[in-house]
Structure 1
Amino acid sequence: MLRWLLLLCLLSAPALAKEIDAEVYVAIQAATDAEAAGDLGKAREALEQALPQAESGTLERALVAQRLAYLAIAAQRNAAAIDWLREALAQQQLDEAAALQDRQNLARLLMQAQRYPEAVTELESLPRTDSNRQLLVQAYRQLGQFRKAVPLAEQVVRANPQADDIWYRLLVGMNYELERFDQAVRWQQALLQRAPESVDNWRQLASMQSLAGEQVAAAATLRLAREAGIALATTDLENLVALHAQSGAPWQAARLMQALLDEGLLSSSADRLRRLAYLWQTARDHERALAAWERVARSGNSADRLQLAWLQYQQRQWQAALATLQAVQPANASQRRQLQSLKQAAEARLARPESGSDPSS
């Protein structure tokens, strides 16, 4: 940036000499010489000494402030550079091309400083080049203004389907944040088509499909990945289920796990069936939870049968709960106490069937 500015000053020196105050011109020339010699401190000193002669609203003030801004950038003093660029632009004396370049650099500095609201103000007034559009999308994203960012990113990929992958990833991520999972699926499918050898693309597509309520499609995607030779480990599939469960979506996690079991991508081990039962129970899908616990209890241990009995009791299935308890063989004192307590409660409910109180009380 400094080399470009130095060249510009050298090329425009004769014209500047005719247009600006002589003392300011000498200071700019001295700063140019100091820059060329690598002495940025001396260059800044020359320009600061010229400030009193550069009145507000003049070309002199704009040029001195502009030069001080780029010296500050070279010295990695970005906060000062932002202030000087703003002062240079405020004079409204720079030609159109120079002012545009300064505004673009100001926007980039504001982004680097994480001053996103100010960056948005600058970027919204700039021409919508790909570079400026990408910065504006990033600024909106940082501010959580995804509804503004998504249309801009869509403009880029519609105008240029070969746009960099980052645009498609942004669209996936921002639609996810907006809980537009069907749209996230759409853009993730585009990423998968670009790089079908990527394990992450297959995983991400299955995850978005599951969040969109398409758990069967998610399982089918993972099956296709394996058929295509993608190295998906069992832990990858289990982690995907866990991701949904941990993000507060137990119903999606349960449906996905059921689909994976149905597809044969996960084997029906006792531990997995037990986990599936817990997921349905957490999701408050009582019918599926009961069916899952009944399956577990057939070959499960006493703890599993006690869990089934408790769930039957909660669903007012008193007789079924008592029948289940008959098959429980307590392994310890704690289980004996649980069995006795639950049995007494179920019998008491059967003795007064007219009761409409909460079964969990």
Structure 2
Amino acid sequence: MRNYIHQGLKVVLIILGLLTVIPAQAADEKVPPISPWLYKQLTKAEKLISSQAYPQARKKLEKIIPELKNKSYEQALALRSLASVYALENNYIRAAKLLEQCLATQTLPEQQQQQALLNLGQLYIASEQYQKAIKVLQPWVQKNPKSVDQQILVLLANAYTQLKQYRTALPYIEQAIKLSKKPRESWFQLNLALHYELGNYSAAARILKKLVANYPDKKAYWLQLATVYQQLSQFKQALIIQDLAYKKGYLQTETQILQLFNLYIYNKQPYQAANLLSKELDSQRVKKSSAHWELLANAWTNAREYKQAITALEKASALNKKGRLYLQLARIHVEQEHWHNAIKAINKALSKGELKNPGEAYILLGMSLYETKQLSAAKSAFQKARKYKKTRKSATQWLNYMENSNTQA
């Protein structure tokens, strides 16, 4: 949140830096006179400030203040000028204390009083005294509704945000955006952050859509918008945004690419998912691991592209310590009636071992051997499958079928 506050400081420095010997007043407002001597001293101080000779200006003002009558209008002017010097030197705490002393004289005409109160509120923000800033700025906004500009509303929103009063901060930043013909990017960012804190993801999505439209080259907004859509379970919209971000070159990491892959799968677009992952495995932005080859195989399988699925699953199987993936490969070969290939895959699966259901492997092996006329070996495979509870019934049926076939022959 510090970025928003520092942008607000520019206003502080502009207001406090543009000093005049006698501040402007309303036409019907009477201003107490000041002595020619003080006029001359303040003019010299102003010239030093204009030339950025802040230490010299500070010393001059600190020298003349003790010579002025206590709680006088002249003292108030000098204190106000000194406060501006400290603000320009980034000593906001000291500047705020001097402005407090200025206001404590109670000698400023109403217009100057209101301007000084506004400056004080800004200095409190700058010095991270947020509760004090609110106590000054909120009454000021209520008293000067026609004079309130967007920046003051933003400062109030920041103060409440820093105090974690997010719901109170929200109307101020939204009013500032509404009143501005061209709101600043940082205002939208603060508005977005508040909605995040409050869990208002629908509102966050609306703001992010504006940010994406206004700043299309900033990839963070694209990624945030896709994430918000997922939080809202609007997975189709999330896919559209992620896909556009990918085409713009904003998805660079393995995690981001796999998120897009998963969105394709969730939205029942396995062919697009497989094409994406295949391309990124080739480019090595996605690691060529067993798990990733398995993801690709499953996507090709769902897309009914079995040739590509087999190729991917062979690579996944070779990299996996267990036999599970070779068994999965065997299932595809059996479905495609590629019996010899199925036999090879099943033997590799059994060789690697650690299968959750070894009986299934022996059933598939027996079927494949039977189809290739290797009847003795098929019978042996079914006998092994009969040893496992889950496949005992199926293995027995196959053995009975083979025995009846031989008897009839």
What's the TM-score once normalised by structure 1's chain length? 0.62
Q: In angstroms, what is the RMSD of aligned CA positions?
A: 4.5
The change in CA–CA distance for 1:110 and 1:273 in structure 2 (over 3 A counts) is same
Match of 1:103 in 2: 188
In the TM superposition, residue 39 of structure 1 has moved relative to its aligned partner by 1.8
Whole-Å Cα distance in 2 between the matches of residues 178 and 83 of structure 1? 37
In the TM superposition, residue 307 of structure 1 has moved relative to its aligned partner by 0.6
Give the one of 320, 325, 339 matched to 1:233. Answer: 320
Whole-Å Cα distance in 2 between the matches of residues 48 and 163 of structure 1? 45
Q: Does 1:88 pair with 2:176? A: yes
The change in CA–CA distance for 1:198 and 1:8 in structure 2 (over 3 A counts) is farther
In the TM superposition, residue 234 of structure 1 has moved relative to its aligned partner by 2.5
Whole-Å Cα distance in 1 between the matches of residues 221 and 174 of structure 2? 18
- Matched residue SS, 1:125: helix
Give the one of 211, 217, 236 matched to 1:147. Answer: 236
Amino acid of the structure 1 residue aligned with 2:142: P
Amino acid of the structure 1 residue aligned with 2:116: V
In the TM superposition, residue 151 of structure 1 has moved relative to its aligned partner by 2.6
Contact 2:188–2:207 (Cα < 8 Å) also in 1: yes
- Matched residue SS, 1:48: helix
Match of 1:220 in 2: 311
Contact 1:270–1:300 (Cα < 8 Å) also in 2: no
Contact 1:141–1:174 (Cα < 8 Å) also in 2: no
Contact 1:310–1:321 (Cα < 8 Å) also in 2: no
Q: Does 1:135 pair with 2:224? A: yes
**1:54-203 counterparts in 2 under 5 A?**
54-55=144-145, 58=146, 60=148, 62-90=150-178, 92=179, 94=180, 96-98=182-184, 100-126=185-211, 127-129=214-216, 130-160=219-249, 163-192=252-281, 193-195=283-285, 197-199=287-289, 200-203=291-294
Measured against aligned partners, the alpha-carbon deviations of 1:90-146 in whole angstroms (never above 9, x if no partner) come to 4x1x35143x43123312432354321111222223325223222221122222222
Match of 1:351 in 2: none
In the TM superposition, residue 260 of structure 1 has moved relative to its aligned partner by 8.0
- Matched residue SS, 1:123: helix
Deviates more, 1:165-174 or 1:194-203: 194-203
Q: Does 1:267 pair with 2:350? A: yes
In the TM superposition, residue 174 of structure 1 has moved relative to its aligned partner by 0.8
In the TM superposition, residue 43 of structure 1 has moved relative to its aligned partner by 1.5
Contact 1:24–1:60 (Cα < 8 Å) also in 2: no
Measured against aligned partners, the alpha-carbon deviations of 1:59-118 in whole angstroms (never above 9, x if no partner) come to 50644331121122323333333333123324x1x35143x4312331243235432111
In the TM superposition, residue 201 of structure 1 has moved relative to its aligned partner by 3.5
Amino acid of the structure 2 residue aligned with 1:178: N
Whole-Å Cα distance in 2 between the matches of residues 110 and 170 of structure 1? 24
Contact 2:270–2:300 (Cα < 8 Å) also in 1: yes
Whole-Å Cα distance in 2 between the matches of residues 101 and 28 of structure 1? 22
Higher relative contact order (CA 8 A, sep 6+): 2
Identity across aligned pairs (percent)? Answer: 13
Give the one of 121, 125, 132 matched to 1:31. Answer: 121
Structure 1, unpaired ranges of 5+? 243-250, 281-286, 313-318, 325-361
Match of 1:209 in 2: 300
Contact 1:133–1:152 (Cα < 8 Å) also in 2: yes
- Look at both structures and tell me which one has the larger radius of gyration over its CA atoms: 2
Match of 1:6 in 2: 8
Whole-Å Cα distance in 1 between the matches of residues 401 and 241 of structure 2? 59
- Matched residue SS, 2:148: helix
Whole-Å Cα distance in 1 between the matches of residues 162 and 401 of structure 2? 79
The change in CA–CA distance for 1:222 and 1:32 in structure 2 (over 3 A counts) is same
Whole-Å Cα distance in 1 between the matches of residues 396 and 203 of structure 2? 58
